[in-house]
Amino acid sequence: MWDASPRAIIANVKPADVEEGLNQTSARYAILINHFASDGKLKSSSLGLVGLRESTQIHLENKESAISTIVPLEEAASTAGLCWAPLGLIDMYNSGGAVLSSKISQANVDPSVREVRIEAKSESAGRFGVYSSLAPDSASVDGVPVHVTWDVESGIAAIHLAPVSESSAFMDSTSTAHAPRRSIHVRWRVDGNTGTAG
């Protein structure tokens, strides 16, 4: 029987629900939930940190939808308190689809600086987000310094990716979608004077 006023749906999402492509050996995970209204516009975003079998609840009204991006937290072995998770284009429908890889290193010129290099693939503009337990010191995209914001409550560090033209030198010719590769660097100064998320 047709229901003119369908009831809301409540779903519980946890990292263990992901069957393929997720490292299930991590102790903690970042879950970014993008909640879309019935007209397809982004209604809200939220980020939580959970264990493998800990759930995050999603509440959907009629014709609403949500996408969950689940990313293992990575931790700097030599730096207590610094952990991160690359989230991708956080205002997009499939935010994590832009992330190819991430790797941390120590800056050559300053032993107090830790740097995460994220390889991303995107041809469109948007906010690129990284969960960060500490406030970043600086960031760059394709070698160009950019402004980075950090929300102390959610721990999301965000930078703005400008659109890339088809003639960009960062074009990935091996990709069927021909999306440009972007090199994103986020840096932290770990000298004891950095803010902490939460």
Output the CA angle 93-85-171, nearest 5 degrees.
60
Report how far residue 139's alpha carbon sits from residue 147's, in angstroms, rounded to the nearest whole number: 7
pTM given for the model: 0.79
Residues 192 and 100 in one domain: yes
Count, residues in the chain: 198
* Pairing mode of beta strands 113-121, 181-189: antiparallel
Residue 47 has pLDDT above 70, yes or no: yes
Residues 63 and 78 in one domain: no
What average pLDDT score do residues 141-168 get? 84
pLDDT above 90 covers a percentage of the chain that reads: 38
Q: What is the pLDDT of residue 161?
A: 87
Q: 28 is in which domain, residue-wise?
A: 1-72
Q: Give the number of other CB atoms < 10 A from CB of residue 127.
A: 17
Residues 82 and 68 in one domain: no
- Contact residues for 100 (Cβ-Cβ < 8 A; gap 6+): 118, 119, 120, 121, 181
Report how far residue 124's alpha carbon sits from residue 164's, in angstroms, rounded to the nearest whole number: 7
CATH number at residue 160: 2.60.40
Residue 146 has pLDDT above 80, yes or no: yes
Output the CA angle 107-123-99, nearest 5 degrees.
50
Collapse the DSSP code of 66 into the 3-class scheme (helix H, G, I; strand E, B; otherwise coil) and give the result. strand
